[in-house]
A and B are shown apart, each in its own frame.
Chain A
Amino acid sequence: MADLRTSFLGIESPNPFWLASAPPTDKAYNVNRAFEAGWGGAVWKTLGESGPPIVNVSGPRYGALHSNERRVIGFNNIELITDRPLETNLEEIRQVKRDWPDRALVASVMLPMNEAAWSKYLPMIEDTGCDGFELNFGCPHGMSERGMGAAVGQVPEYIQMATEWAKQATSLPVIVKLTPNVTNIVPPAKAALDGGADAVSLINTINSIMRVDYDSLTMYPTTDGMGTHGGYCGEAVKPIALNMVAEIARNADTAKLPVSGIGGITDWRDAVDFLALGASNVQICTAAMVYGFRIIDDLVDGLGTFLDDKGMTLAELVGKAVPSVTDWQYLNLNYVEKAVIDQDLCIECGRCHVVCEDTSHQAITSMVDGKRRFEVIDDACVGCNLCVSVCPVDGCITMRQVSDDDADKLNWTQHPNNPMRTTD
Chain B
Amino acid sequence: MTRPAEQPDVRPSRLSRDEIEANFQDLHPPLGRSEALIEADRCYFCFDAPCTAACPTGIDIPVFIQKIRSDNVRGSGKTILGENIMGGMCARVCPTEVLCEEACVRNTHEEKPVEIGLLQRYATDPIIDSGVQLFARAAPSGKTVAVVGGGPAGLSCAHRLAVLGHNVVVFNRDEKPGGLNEYGIAAYKTVDDFAQTEVEYILSIGGIDVRNNVALGEDVQLRELIDAHDAVFLGIGLSRANDLGIEGESLDGVVNAVDYIAELRQAEDKSTMPIGRTVVVIGGGMTAIDIAVQSRHLGAEQVHMVYRRGPDEMSASAFEQALAQTTGVAIHHRAPPNRILGDEHVTGVEFTSDGGRFVLFADMVFKAIGQQIGGFSEFAMQDGRIVVDAGHGTSIDKVWAGGDCVVGGSDLTVTAVQHGKLAAIDIDRTLRGAPDG
- Taking CB atoms, residues of chain A closer than 8 Å to B47 are 349-351, 353-354, 366
**B69 lies within 8 A of chain A by Cβ:** yes
Contacts of A67 in B (CB 8 A): 41
Give Cα A119 to B38, complex, Å: 55
| Shortest Cβ distance from residue A212 to the other chain B in the assembled complex, whole angstroms | 14
B41 with A69: CB separation less than 8 A: yes
B38-A68 in contact (CB<8A): yes
Q: Mark B83-118, 1 if CB is under 8 A from A, else 0.
A: 000000000000000000000011011000000000
Given A347-B109, A393-B109, also A69-B37 (CB < 8 A) = yes
Distance (Å) between the CB of A419 and the closest chain B CB?
42
B44 at the interface (CB under 8 A from A): yes
Given known contacts A351-B45, A366-B47, A372-B48, A69 and B108 CB-to-CB distance under 8 angstroms: no
With a CB–CB cut-off of 8 A, which chain B residues contact A392?
44, 109
Closest residue to A66 on the B side, CB-wise?
Answer: B37
> How many residues of A are in contact with the other chain, CB < 8 A?
15
Residues of B within 8 Å of A68, CB to CB, are 37-38, 40-41, 69
Whose C-beta in chain B lies nearest to the C-beta of A393?
B109
A70 in the interface (beta carbon within 8 A): yes
Taking CB atoms, residues of chain B closer than 8 Å to A353 are: 47
Is residue B50 contacting chain A, with contact meaning CB distance below 8 A? yes
Asked whether B138 is an interface residue with its Cβ less than 8 Å from the other chain, the reply is: no
- Max chain B C-beta neighbours (<10 A), residue from A70, A350, A366: A350
- Rounded to whole angstroms, the CA-CA distance of A353 and B44 in the bound complex is 13
Q: How far is the CB of A388 from chain B (nearest CB, A)?
A: 15
Q: Mark B57-86, 1 if CB is under 8 A from A, else 0.
A: 000000000000100000000000000000
Are the C-beta atoms of B40 and A351 separated by less than 8 Å?
no
Nearest residue, chain B, Cβ from A364 = B47
Q: Nearest A residue to B107 by beta-carbon distance?
A: A347
Interface string of A62-99 (1 = CB under 8 A from B): 00000111100000000000000000000000000000
Q: How far is the CA of A180 from the CA of B45 in the complex (A)?
A: 35
Does B46 sit at the interface, judged by CB under 8 A?
yes
Q: For residues 26 through 59 of chain B, which have their beta carbon under 8 Å from a beta carbon of chain A? A: 34, 37-38, 40-41, 44-50
A128 nearest CB across to chain B (Å): 46
Known: A68-B69, A353-B47. A347 touches B38 (CB 8 A): no
Knowing A68-B69, A372-B48, the reply to whether A348 touches B37 (Cβ < 8 A) is: no
- Do A349 and B38 have beta carbons less than 8 Å apart? no
Which of chain B's residues have a CB closer than 8 A to the CB of A349? 44-47, 105
Interface string of B7-22 (1 = CB under 8 A from A): 0000000000000000
Q: Is the interface of B mostly helix, strand, loop or mixed?
A: helix
A62 nearest CB across to chain B (Å): 20
CA–CA, A348 to B49, complex, Å?
Answer: 9
User: How long is the Cα–Cα vector from A393 to B46 in the complex, in angstroms?
Assistant: 13
Contact at B48–A347, with CB atoms within 8 Å? Answer: no
**A347 to B108 Cα, complex, angstroms:** 6
Secondary structure at the A interface, as helix, strand, loop or mixed, is: loop
Q: How far is the CA of A354 from the CA of B49 in the complex (A)?
A: 11
Are A351 and B50 also in contact (CB < 8 A) when A68-B37, A68-B69 are? no
**Most chain B CB within a 10 A radius of its CB, from A69, A347, A366:** A347
The answer on a CB contact under 8 Å between B48 and A350 is yes
Bound CA span A393–B50, Å: 17
Minimum C-beta distance from A63 to chain B (A): 17
Contacts of B41 in A (CB 8 A): 67-69
A343–B69 Cα distance when bound, in Å, is 30
Chain A residues with Cβ under 8 A from B69's Cβ?
Answer: 68
Q: Considering the complex, give the chain B residue whose CB is closest to the CB of A354.
A: B47
Measured in the bound complex, the distance between the Cα atoms of B106 and A199 in whole Å is 49
**How distant is B374 from chain A, measured CB to nearest CB, in Å?**
42
| Docked CA distance A351–B105 (Å) | 11
State A392–B62 Cα separation when bound (angstroms): 15
- Contact residues in A for B49 (Cβ distance below 8 Å): 350
Complex-state Cα separation, A350 to B51, whole angstroms: 13
Interface flags for B285-318 (1: CB within 8 Å of A; 0: not) read 0000000000000000000000000000000000
**Chain B residues with CB below 8 A from A347, complex form:** 44, 105-106, 108-109
Question: Contact: B37 with A350, CB < 8 Å?
Answer: no
Contact (Cβ within 8 A) A70 B44: no
Please, which residues of chain A bring their CB within 8 A of the CB of B48?
A: 350, 354, 366, 372
In whole angstroms, how far apart are the Cα atoms of A347 and B236 in the complex?
A: 41
Closest beta carbon of chain A to B65's beta carbon, Å: 11
A350 touches B46 (CB 8 A): yes
Residues on B with beta carbons closer than 8 Å to the beta carbon of A70 = 34, 37
Encode contact with B along A38-69: 1 for CB under 8 Å, 0 otherwise.
00000000000000000000000000000111
Residues of A308-351 whose CB lies within 8 A of B: 347-351
Closest chain-B Cβ to A84's Cβ sits at a distance in Å of: 36
Q: How far, in whole Å, are A67 and B41 apart by their CA atoms in the complex?
A: 9
A266 and B37 CA atoms in complex are apart in Å by 24
Distance from A353 Cβ to chain B, minimum over Cβ atoms (Å): 5
Closest 3 CB pairs of A and B: A350-B47, A354-B47, A68-B41
Given A348-B105, A354-B47, 9 more A-B residue pairs with CB atoms under 8 Å apart are A68-B69, A347-B44, A347-B106, A347-B108, A348-B50, A349-B44, A349-B46, A351-B45, A392-B44
14 contacts between A and B (CB under 8 A): A68-B38, A68-B41, A68-B69, A69-B37, A70-B34, A347-B44, A347-B106, A347-B108, A349-B46, A350-B48, A354-B47, A372-B50, A392-B109, A393-B109
The chain B residues found within 8 Å of chain A, CB to CB, are: 34, 37-38, 40-41, 44-50, 69, 105-106, 108-109
